[in-house]
Structure 1
Amino acid sequence: MTARPAKPPTPRRARSQPAPMRPPRRLGSPGGASAPQRLYARAKRAWDRPLTAYYLILGGSALITVLGLVMVFSASQIQALQSGLASTYYFRKQLVAAVLGTGLLLAASRMPVRLHRTLAYPLLIVSVFLMCLVQVPGIGQEVNGNQNWIHLGGPFQLQPSEFAKLALVLWGADLLARKGDKKLLTQWKHLLVPLVPVTLLLLALIMLGGDMGTALIIAAVLFGLLWLVGAPTRLFTGVLVAALTAAALLVTSSANRMSRLRCIGATDPGPDDQCWQAVHGIYALASGGWFGSGLGASMEKWGQLPEPHTDFIFAVTGEELGLAGTLSVLALFAALGYAGIRVAGRTEEPFVRYAAGGVTTWIIAQAVINVGAVLGLLPIAGVPLPLFSYGGSALLPTMFAVGLLIAFARSDPAARAALAVRQPALWQRTSRGGLAGVLRKGSAPGRKREKTMRRRAGRPPSGER
């Protein structure tokens, strides 16, 4: 027998020898993500977090209000001095309204949804009653041709139609939510009655005072509610055609409204200076350039531009802060509108959906009407820029409505969980055992570690923050 030749031993890799490393991939290679792609993915993750709408509403409304205070102070000084008042007269009144509005905002943001629904009917009844008082001689007061004010004594006045916007949003949302629970919204009569008749009552009371701008916003809120509830296209179109027909009749029956309609796109004041305000608003925007003439350096507010601190404050903003300032204001309103739509679209509760959509429709429609008039794209309707223009009667209900949006954004389960995680540890411990308990238990490392592990175990995934 012949012996088989032995196989050569196979070399063994030393245990300490590391595995060969692959060369790092270059950015932009087919297998890896480039820097812009990674940045986009990171931004998308941050944008999809549950607290995005909450922070957009809170931060956007705060920035608009603060910037509005600055511009009211700048735009109203000459107007106040020409009226024999202190230069800070309008600013101080607006500051008081902003402080009161902040209290309303905080109260609304902390109220449960059930309490918001409870306020719907009382607020609607009070608004209708006050708008009826406006038409009583000796109680109602006329301002700039519109009798929509009630004199409260001293320098304070109240415009009830501003509170009617909030009342219609809350009452309409509660009405549609209750009908939806009873499966009645599939019938057209339950979609329209009593929502449309009550809205027509509000419109009639407002138009008795001649304020068509506010009437347009009330009509926009009605269409927003019908759209959110899923009204059939034929029904929605029919109501829209009826509203446009009524608006056309109201415009053609008034020489003042027809003159405002003719001033769309005007570049010359025209005969009898009918388009004086519209043209000088364009002058103010055009002279601002990219970055404006500087805060307080507007020339149009020196008696050339009527209502520089109310209806045409956006024009003064363009003159003093330039295109950069006006685009910043528009971006803040766009962020606020997006956050409101996001809150309405992600909730499962019908009342929250309708109320959030109604508030968003109200604020964005009013902003579009105001800015469109300043730009010469729409007729001058005499409505203030929400949260920005001077006027306490407009600021108070608007800030309460923003508080509603904040409350709705907080009511989302994922947002509640994220807010609970982001609460300071001291606040969590204080709410459980008081500050004395924190000081007493702070020296126990084992208990501190146990609380830390428990808090980490209760955290949602990183995408929920």
Structure 2
Amino acid sequence: MTPAPTAARSNPSGARAPFRQVRLRKIVGAPRPYSNRNSRNLLITTTFALVTIGLMMVLSASSVELVAAGESPFDTFTKQLMWAGIGSAALVVCAFVPLATYKKLSWLILLGSLAFSLLVFSPLGVEVQGNRNWIGIGPLTAQPSEFLKLSIIIWGSAILARKARLLGNWKHMAIPVVPAAMIAIGIVIAGKDLGTAMVLALIVVGLFFLAGASPKLFVGGLVLGTIGILLAVTSSPNRMLRISAWLDPAAEGTAEGLGYQSAQALYGLAGGGVFGVGIGQSRQKVNWIPEAHNDFVFAILGEELGLVGALLVILLFAVLAYSIYRISKRSRDLYVTYVSGAILVWIIGQAILNIAVVTGMIPVIGVPLPFVSYGGSSMVAVLAAVGVLISCSRATDREVSSSGAPA
């Protein structure tokens, strides 16, 4: 028996998918038997391939400076391994939470995440390099805004899927998603984390695109977003100097000032050549790139593994995107479409931003490379998101099975 047709995907109320979704699905073609199970396996395999590469590069990038400081070369690696374990546990839990539970608890998830994010302005808040977007409890620190990304996706998708028949009216499309998104982005910007705020905005744009928003709404959002970014940049002397360093990297003093990290990252990528200098042999990580295991770990990866290694990581992200898309298109439930599509926009969009920063294509904005950069909050959040994707896939299996088609 052939799989159920997907050209008229709907939410439980029977609303049809926007026309652009139908066109996107036709590009890839009709799903084959067991394609959803294969996509799920591909998603899990690719995810843990990236996590493994990330653990290897975190160990390589951090060990030398730790030894120089008289500490164990495995300290940072051990912490990242711990967070990868916690994230894997979160993945399993999220994978087995029924999709209906996410819909039912979406408001609670959003409000809890917003309250968690506000803790950065409490006595628990910790300021790191001018950004107050961390909280500290004893030896542990966390970045609440990383979890805000997933909560916006779960909540926004539930709202848009529930209002699917009303989305032809821009007011129903915008309210309450836009006000809630502005509150979330405002909290993050108040903590001076422009990079995370841009990723949140990208997620909301992705949700509206999937929901079939009118061009007028996109133009209005683009104007507001541009104004917001300009205000955030011009209100910060540090950000203005970073823009200047990016626009004129050859200016006197740029390579020694705020353009230092970017310049050293490019030296590392150039020094890696085609096949790299070898794992553990990076020269730029030795007191040249500050905290190389964080946002600039891709530069160390490019130096040690060369162009081949860098392209392999990019290919893995492309395969990850394909597997998420296959999960999305297999279902006829708009909630699955919105959740999986927005997670795709988040992970792949953030990866593109990080790589663009490291290669000097855009100014430094401070976003980690998903699954690869050091950071417990980021690791747990993206692995939890993969768990939500698996829950979407399992729900689709039941949906297809009930229709008599193979899962």
Alignment partners' CA distance in 1, 2:326 and 2:251: 43
Q: Is the 8 A contact 2:95 2:391 kept in 1?
A: yes
Matching residue of 1:202: 184
**Structure with the greater alpha carbon radius of gyration:** 1
Tell me the secondary structure at the aligned position of residue 326 of structure 1.
helix
Q: Please say if 1:85 is aligned against 2:71.
A: yes
5+ long unaligned stretches in structure 2:
1-29
Q: Please say if 1:373 is aligned against 2:345.
A: no
Matching residue of 1:229: 211
Tell me the secondary structure at the aligned position of residue 264 of structure 1.
helix
Q: How does 1:50-129 map to 2 (within 5 A)?
A: 50-129=36-115
Q: How does 1:292-441 map to 2 (within 5 A)?
A: 292-413=276-397
Structure 1 residue 377 displacement after superposition: 0.2
Q: 1:48 to 1:392 in 2, by over 3 A?
A: same
Structure 1 residue 365 displacement after superposition: 1.1
Count of residue correspondences: 374
Quote the sequence identity (%): 38
Matching residue of 2:175: 193
Alignment partners' CA distance in 2, 1:353 and 1:186: 18
Q: Please say if 1:248 is aligned against 2:234.
A: no
Tell me the secondary structure at the aligned position of residue 35 of structure 2.
coil
Q: 1:130 to 1:82 in 2, by over 3 A?
A: farther
Q: Is the 8 A contact 1:288 1:323 kept in 2?
A: yes
The amino acid of 1:234's aligned partner reads: K
RMSD value, Cα? 2.2
Alignment partners' CA distance in 1, 2:245 and 2:355: 15
- CA deviation vs aligned residue, 1:93-131 (integer Å, no higher than 9, x gap): 100101111111112122211122234222211221122
Matching residue of 2:130: 145
Structure 1 residue 397 displacement after superposition: 1.1
Alignment partners' CA distance in 2, 1:255 and 1:325: 36
Structure 1 residue 140 displacement after superposition: 0.7
Tell me the secondary structure at the aligned position of residue 134 of structure 2.
strand
Alignment partners' CA distance in 1, 2:359 and 2:62: 21
Structure 1 residue 337 displacement after superposition: 1.3
Q: Is the 8 A contact 2:94 2:384 kept in 1?
A: yes
Q: 1:61 to 1:394 in 2, by over 3 A?
A: same
Q: Is the 8 A contact 1:337 1:364 kept in 2?
A: yes
Q: Is the 8 A contact 2:36 2:326 kept in 1?
A: no
Tell me the secondary structure at the aligned position of residue 135 of structure 2.
strand
* Greater alpha carbon shift after TM alignment, 89-98 vs 342-351: 342-351
Match of 1:217 among 170, 183, 199: 199
Q: 1:50 to 1:300 in 2, by over 3 A?
A: same
Q: Please say if 1:131 is aligned against 2:117.
A: yes
5+ long unaligned stretches in structure 1:
1-43, 418-457
Alignment partners' CA distance in 1, 2:92 and 2:246: 40
Q: Is the 8 A contact 1:265 1:377 kept in 2?
A: no
The amino acid of 1:193's aligned partner reads: I
Q: 1:301 to 1:46 in 2, by over 3 A?
A: farther
Q: Is the 8 A contact 1:61 1:387 kept in 2?
A: yes
- CA deviation vs aligned residue, 1:295-339 (integer Å, no higher than 9, x gap): 100000111011210100000000101111100000011111122
**Under a length normalisation based on structure 1, what TM-score does the superposition of the two structures give?**
0.76
The amino acid of 2:134's aligned partner reads: W
Q: 1:277 to 1:404 in 2, by over 3 A?
A: same
Q: Is the 8 A contact 2:124 2:137 kept in 1?
A: no
Q: Is the 8 A contact 1:260 1:379 kept in 2?
A: yes
Q: Is the 8 A contact 1:266 1:376 kept in 2?
A: no
- CA deviation vs aligned residue, 1:11-36 (integer Å, no higher than 9, x gap): xxxxxxxxxxxxxxxxxxxxxxxxxx
Tell me the secondary structure at the aligned position of residue 374 of structure 2.
coil
Tell me the secondary structure at the aligned position of residue 107 of structure 2.
helix
* Greater alpha carbon shift after TM alignment, 372-381 vs 50-59: 50-59
Q: Please say if 1:164 is aligned against 2:166.
A: no
The amino acid of 2:58's aligned partner reads: V
Structure 1 residue 266 displacement after superposition: 6.0
- Higher RCO (Cα < 8 Å, 6 or more apart): 2
Alignment partners' CA distance in 2, 1:259 and 1:142: 20
Q: Is the 8 A contact 2:36 2:327 kept in 1?
A: no
**Under a length normalisation based on structure 2, what TM-score does the superposition of the two structures give?**
0.87
The amino acid of 1:161's aligned partner reads: S
Q: Is the 8 A contact 2:107 2:155 kept in 1?
A: yes
Alignment partners' CA distance in 2, 1:97 and 1:415: 34
Q: 1:268 to 1:356 in 2, by over 3 A?
A: same
The amino acid of 1:148's aligned partner reads: N
The amino acid of 1:128's aligned partner reads: L
Q: 1:45 to 1:135 in 2, by over 3 A?
A: closer
Q: Is the 8 A contact 2:36 2:330 kept in 1?
A: no
Alignment partners' CA distance in 1, 2:341 and 2:35: 20
The amino acid of 1:113's aligned partner reads: L
Structure 1 residue 340 displacement after superposition: 1.7
- CA deviation vs aligned residue, 1:400-431 (integer Å, no higher than 9, x gap): 101111222333349976xxxxxxxxxxxxxx
Q: Is the 8 A contact 1:290 1:322 kept in 2?
A: yes
